């Protein structure tokens, strides 16, 4: 689709870029595939902020995406490819042969009018979904399940792609976008191709206000705070903190391991971090 750079006629447009929406449908989403989005602005059920820097974003409706792709052996036609305000990838509206409509993530190369299908006997074609055991080695895949029938959990953002490296017994060795190689059961489904909207990573917001539209509130540096508010705070003049980076509660950041899911360690063959 390409990136559009603005000729700055206001300070906020200097350095700002957006993705061109040519080729995207302007039709409204079907009401059956929309629902209201509950937004807590980072607060828990007691009203306390548990996730910082959230709030004040633009109002939006959620599009219900079919991550499971469980309508097997029923062909579907791509009716439209649309912008989704809730994710970096674009979405494609499918019209199934039995009349049902569903949204899926739009892979790179999928065009309006294409016919796709999911199921064990599906051909290796962009947009089709198959179990990993039926996908050849070296194939590019996305929207990968971690457990059979749970729905895709890996490689769902714009430009994401994973690759099947090997198969051994009940498991396949998959290189996921982070560079990690992990074992995934061969009964898990994945979709052929790479997630579309590849230019998303190259856009520049250009102004602070655009972050606010997305619900990202400002982040204050620890060294700019008082000692009572942060371990890095205080000091005469501008200080550099005097210790390793940490949270306001003293927990180390930047490299500190927080992973506790030791049960799945055996599934990781090559770690993202050495």
Quote the pLDDT of residue 71: 92
DSSP 225: S
Q: Which of 155, 38, 134, 33 is nearest to 92 (CA)?
A: 33
- Alpha carbons 242 and 266: distance in angstroms, whole number: 38
Quote the pLDDT of residue 2: 84
Could you give the maximum distance between any two Cα atoms of the chain, in Å?
71
Across the range 54-66, mean pLDDT stands at 93
Check if the beta carbon of residue 27 is closer than 8 Å to that of residue 82.
Answer: yes
Per-residue model confidence as pLDDT tens digits over 8-38? 998 888 889 999 888 899 889 999 999 998 8
Tell how many helices (H) and how many strands (E) occur in the chain: 1, 17
Quote the pLDDT of residue 202: 92
How far apart, in Å, are the Cα atoms of 177 and each of 108, 129, 141, 271? 16, 19, 10, 12
Quote the pLDDT of residue 181: 95
- Please tell me the total count of domains within the chain: 1
Mean pLDDT score across all residues of the chain: 92
Sign of CA dihedral 247, 251, 253, 258: negative
Q: Which domain holds residue 138?
A: 19-201
Quote the pLDDT of residue 110: 92
Question: Does residue 148 form part of some domain?
Answer: yes
Check if the beta carbon of residue 102 is closer than 8 Å to that of residue 94.
Answer: yes
Across the range 151-172, mean pLDDT stands at 95
Across the range 56-67, mean pLDDT stands at 94
Question: Does residue 176 form part of some domain?
Answer: yes
Question: Does residue 30 form part of some domain?
Answer: yes
Per-residue model confidence as pLDDT tens digits over 138-151? 999 999 999 999 99
Check if the beta carbon of residue 73 is closer than 8 Å to that of residue 117.
Answer: yes
Across the range 201-214, mean pLDDT stands at 92
Please indicate, yes or no, whether the overall pTM of this predicted structure exceeds 0.75: yes
Quote the pLDDT of residue 66: 95
Across the range 224-228, mean pLDDT stands at 94
Question: Does residue 252 form part of some domain?
Answer: no
Question: Does residue 217 form part of some domain?
Answer: no
Question: Does residue 210 form part of some domain?
Answer: no
Quote the pLDDT of residue 37: 86
Question: Does residue 1 form part of some domain?
Answer: no
Residue 7 φ then ψ, to 5°: -85, 115
Question: Does residue 67 form part of some domain?
Answer: yes
Q: Check which CATH number belongs to the domain holding 68 and give it.
A: 2.40.50.140
């Amino acid at each position: 689709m390409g990136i559009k750079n603005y000729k700055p006629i206001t300070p906020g447009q200097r350095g700002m870029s957006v993705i061109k929406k040519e080729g995207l449908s302007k039709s409204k989403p079907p009401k059956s595939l929309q629902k209201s989005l509950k937004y807590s602005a980072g607060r828990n059920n007691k009203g306390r902020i548990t996730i910082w820097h959230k709030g004040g974003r633009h109002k939006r409706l959620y599009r219900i995406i079919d991550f499971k792709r469980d309508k097997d052996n029923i062909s579907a036609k791509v009716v439209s490819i649309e912008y989704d305000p809730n994710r970096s990838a674009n979405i494609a509206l499918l019209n199934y042969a039995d009349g049902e409509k569903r949204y899926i993530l739009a892979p790179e190369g999928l065009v309006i009018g294409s016919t796709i299908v999911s199921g064990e006997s599906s051909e290796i074609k962009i947009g089709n979904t198959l179990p990993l055991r039926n996908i050849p080695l070296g194939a590019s895949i996305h929207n990968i399940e971690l457990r059979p029938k749970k729905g895709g959990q890996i490689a769902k953002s714009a430009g994401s792609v994973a690759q099947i490296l090997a198969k051994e017994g009940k498991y396949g060795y998959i290189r996921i976008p982070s560079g990690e190689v992990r074992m995934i059961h061969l009964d898990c489904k994945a979709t052929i191709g790479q997630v579309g909207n590849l230019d998303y990573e190259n856009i520049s917001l250009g102004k602070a206000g655009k972050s606010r539209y997305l619900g990202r509130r400002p982040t204050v540096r620890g060294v700019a705070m008082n000692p009572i508010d942060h371990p890095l705070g205080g000091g005469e003049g501008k200080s550099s903190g005097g210790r390793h980076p940490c949270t306001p509660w003293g927990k180390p950041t930047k490299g500190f391991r927080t992973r506790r899911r030791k049960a799945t360690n055996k599934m990781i063959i090559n770690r993202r971090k050495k």
